């Protein structure tokens, strides 16, 4: 047993350089982490499957990063700062080392950019498509975390960045639409977690979530959690392609923008938070009294809500 | 949008009753957890794929429990107490509600038995086999967690329970060997995490891990982490079937017993810890000076180490 089994060599070579000090070199059964004193932990987990959540021929540098960024986006939505993550990978047999090297190089770049390190994980083999799962740990002062519940009638509905670029980016990555500089495909593969904005919205947003399954469907989640209705003005939705059908952009997935409620008297404060976080914010609707419901309105106030509000996995 | 998408109804119906108070009803982007003051967090993640780590036709009641128990075993190996877990599930299309009900009923039983609750997760679909990933959180006083490093020449090698039952159980579950009362198949499907023993070994074991990939391979991990060699006496390995080849039992996987090093002067204390934890413990070898190496010895001291020490996924 002088030579460890191949599985352990692979992990050692590619993942160990990514490990934080508590990860015990990824050699142990578990990792140790001393939580920041007096803070609450914020925890999220997401999974991705090749051909479902990313394209099997996406560059390996982007695949792990996308999952990491999707989880960072969950922390952003809670107003939390990142601490570390654990990742499990089900690899197809014969995955070559070049692929693994690219995969971990992408993760290393994002670890540096977002200031966190891998704490542990597991590598297994699968006869099915490449599958990844990631659990992220973050922290926030007790009571400071933003949640989906809290929107009230009269509150404004806000969103960060642009809506629909994830959906356009998927079509671009598939070669279905033009993408001369690759910006749209890149947006699909590497969403931008809005961590700075999430921190700036602590104490300001009454409810917050990230848009992962379509703007309208997710606005519906905020409405239901707040026990009210919400109307979205189609003309206010920030989009990059005004020729694409607004219903498609507003129900496509993979935006990973923050969608949040704030009191009308806090409009200037929300604008200031966006500037401080260098993140565009747009007011695009309003919560109203009534049964939980989301509607999309055109400039004349007409209801143009599509039948399909977003994306469901099952 | 009065009716949520099917994915969310499924999660609501089956998983929400399992959620702890910090899980925000599994309705939010992330869960909140206040860590026990002054404690270190202990974190582990494992993945399982149908047909690789369990049989696709295993009873649904046992599948999630097996993964939870495998992760609890990692906590046991670190001498940690459980806090909670996050689980992601990649379901094959058309998974019926009866299966999900059985799956979550099994998890509910283990949550009650081991005193923890689900904090979050994700449900996605896969064209491949059913795949699960679980991250577990536990805690231990600072500096108290057991690790793989620390065995010294002269230390005894100990193991809990019996070795080889996981391997025999897999063969029984496949119908390859007789299993009149189903005890072996049950052992394969539901390993017993040795949490009480792990706690009792704090301050006593110099190094500890759980046996997941074969006794000999894992003893090699302890030797390498301690910078010494280890010799296992074949006749001392606690087995349930003395007619099975000892090399197969000692290199089969899925035992989930604790394998640990302790000083010879602590033999009585280790026996007492086993009694207190109601867990059998057996002294089966010794660490010696020398390059990292594991050997299996027969009663005459002859080296009968098999070529294959354990199980590798890649």
CA distance B26 to chain A (A): 10
User: Count of CB atoms within 10 A of residue B160's CB?
Assistant: 26
Q: Which of A32, A151, A144 is nearest to A80 (CA)?
A: A144
Q: Which of A311, A136, A109, A276 is nearest to A198 (CA)?
A: A276
Which pLDDT value is given to residue B29?
83
* Closest CB from A31, A44, A291 relative to B30: A44
**pLDDT digit string (tens) for A262-312?**
999 999 999 999 999 999 999 999 999 999 999 999 999 999 999 888 865
**pLDDT digit string (tens) for A84-112?**
999 999 999 888 889 999 999 999 999 99
Q: What is the CA radius of gyration of chain B?
A: 20
Along the 314 residues of chain A, how does pLDDT read in single tens digits?
A: 233 345 546 666 788 888 877 777 777 889 999 999 999 999 999 999 999 888 888 999 999 999 999 999 999 999 999 999 999 999 998 888 899 999 999 999 999 999 999 999 998 899 999 999 999 999 999 999 999 999 999 999 999 999 999 999 989 988 999 999 999 999 989 999 999 999 999 999 999 999 998 999 999 999 999 999 999 999 999 998 878 899 999 998 889 999 999 999 999 999 999 999 999 999 999 999 999 999 999 999 999 999 888 865 43
Whether A130 and A91 have beta carbons less than 8 Å apart is answered as yes
Domain boundaries, chain A: 10-18+36-140, 156-297
Which pLDDT value is given to residue A5?
46
For residue A292, the chain B residues in CB contact (below 8 A) are 1-2
Q: Which of residues 259-298 of A touch B (CB under 8 A)?
A: 291-294
Answer whether B33 sits within 8 Å of A10, measured CB to CB.
no
Instruction: Please give the Cα distance from A267 to A37 (Å, whole number).
Output: 34
Q: What tokens were used for A130?
A: 């490449």
Q: Which of residues 146-175 of A touch B (CB under 8 A)?
A: 147-149
DSSP-assigned letters across all residues of chain B: --SPPHHHHHHHHHHGGGB-GGGGGG-SSSEEE-PPTTPEEEEEEEEEEBTTTB-TTS-HHHHHHHHHHHHHHHHHHTT-EEEEEEEEEEEPTT--HHHHHHHHHHHHHHHHHHT-EEEEEEEEE-SSS-EEEEEEEEEE-TTT---STT--TTPEEEEES-SSHHHHHHHHHTTSS--TTSHHHHHHHS----HHHHHHTTTT-SEEEE-SS-HHHHHHHHHHHHTSEEEEEGGGS--S-TTS-HHHHHH-S----EEEEE-GGGHHHHHHHHHHTT--EEEEEEEESSSSEEEEE-TTS-B---S--S----
Question: B86 touching A, CB under 8 A?
Answer: yes
Instruction: Please give the Cα distance from B281 to B258 (Å, whole number).
Output: 9
Whether B86 and A43 have beta carbons less than 8 Å apart is answered as yes
**pLDDT digit string (tens) for B142-168?**
999 999 999 999 999 999 999 999 999
For residue A120, the chain B residues in CB contact (below 8 A) are 43-45
Whether B55 and B173 have beta carbons less than 8 Å apart is answered as yes
For residue A36, the chain B residues in CB contact (below 8 A) are none
Q: Which of A186, A64, A66 is nearest to A118 (CA)?
A: A64
Domains B12-19+37-140 and B156-297 share a fold: no
Instruction: Please give the Cα distance from B14 to B121 (Å, whole number).
Output: 13
CA distance B244 to chain A (A): 23
Annotated binding residue at B133? no
Whether B259 and B158 have beta carbons less than 8 Å apart is answered as yes
Answer whether B148 sits within 8 Å of A28, measured CB to CB.
yes
Which pLDDT value is given to residue B43?
96
CATH class of the domain at A10-18+36-140: alpha beta
CATH topology of domain B12-19+37-140: 60s Ribosomal Protein L30; Chain: A; (3.30.1330)
Answer whether A47 sits within 8 Å of B6, measured CB to CB.
no
* Closest CB from A51, A74, A216 relative to B29: A74
* Closest CB from A5, A91, A137 relative to B217: A5
Cite the annotated binding site of A for Mg(2+) by residue number: 29, 46, 74, 122, 210, 213
Cβ contacts below 8 Å, chain A against chain B, sum to: 254
Beta bridge partners of A27: none
Is domain B156-297 classified as CATH 3.90.650.10?
yes
With a cut of 50, list the residues of chain B below it in pLDDT.
1-5, 8, 313-314
Q: Give the full edge-to-edge strand order of the sheet including B40-49.
A: A31-33, B40-49, B131-140, B81-91, B117-125
Answer whether B90 sits within 8 Å of A310, measured CB to CB.
no
Q: Which residue from A minimizes the CA distance to B31?
A: A43
Question: A216 touching B, CB under 8 A?
Answer: yes
Answer whether A78 sits within 8 Å of B220, measured CB to CB.
no
Q: Which residue from A minimizes the CA distance to B30?
A: A44
Which pLDDT value is given to residue A246?
93
Instruction: Please give the Cα distance from B13 to A292 (Å, whole number).
Output: 19
For residue B131, the chain A residues in CB contact (below 8 A) are 90, 126, 128, 131
User: Count of CB atoms within 10 A of residue A275's CB?
Assistant: 12
H/E segment holding residue A284 = strand A281-288
Question: B96 touching A, CB under 8 A?
Answer: no
Annotated binding residue at B255? no
User: Count of CB atoms within 10 A of residue B66's CB?
Assistant: 23
CA distance A52 to chain B (A): 7
């Amino acid at each position: 047993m002088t030579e460890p089994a191949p599985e352990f060599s692979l992990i050692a070579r590619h993942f160990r350089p990514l490990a934080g000090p508590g990860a015990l070199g990824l050699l142990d059964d578990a990792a140790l982490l001393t939580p920041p004193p007096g803070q609450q932990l914020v925890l999220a987990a997401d999974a991705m499957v090749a051909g479902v959540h990313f394209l099997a021929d996406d560059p390996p540098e982007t695949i792990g990063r996308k999952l990491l960024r999707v989880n960072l986006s969950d922390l952003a939505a809670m107003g939390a700062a990142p601490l570390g993550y654990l990742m499990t990978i089900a690899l197809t047999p014969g995955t070559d080392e070049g692929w693994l090297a690219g995969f971990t190089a992408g993760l290393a770049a994002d670890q540096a950019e977002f200031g966190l390190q891998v704490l542990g994980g597991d590598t297994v083999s699968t006869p099915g498509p490449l599958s990844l799962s990631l659990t992220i740990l973050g922290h926030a002062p007790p009571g400071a975390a933003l949640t989906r519940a809290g929107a009230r009638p009269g509150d404004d509905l806000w969103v960060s960045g642009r809506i629909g670029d994830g959906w356009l980016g998927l079509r671009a990555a598939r070669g279905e639409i033009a993408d001369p500089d690759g910006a749209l495909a890149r947006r699909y593969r590497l969403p931008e977690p809005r961590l700075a904005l999430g921190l700036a919205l602590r104490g300001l947003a009454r409810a917050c979530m990230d848009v992962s399954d379509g703007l309208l469907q997710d606005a519906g989640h905020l409405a239901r959690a707040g026990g009210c209705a919400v109307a979205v003005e189609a003309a206010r939705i920030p989009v990059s392609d005004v020729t694409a059908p607004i219903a498609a952009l507003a129900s496509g997935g993979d935006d990973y923008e923050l969608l949040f409620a704030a009191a009308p008297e806090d409009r200037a404060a929300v604008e200031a938070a966006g500037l401080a976080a260098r993140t565009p914010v747009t007011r695009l609707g309003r919560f109203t009294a009534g049964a939980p419901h989301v509607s999309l309105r055109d400039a004349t106030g007409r209801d143009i809500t599509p039948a399909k509000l977003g994306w469901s996995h099952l």
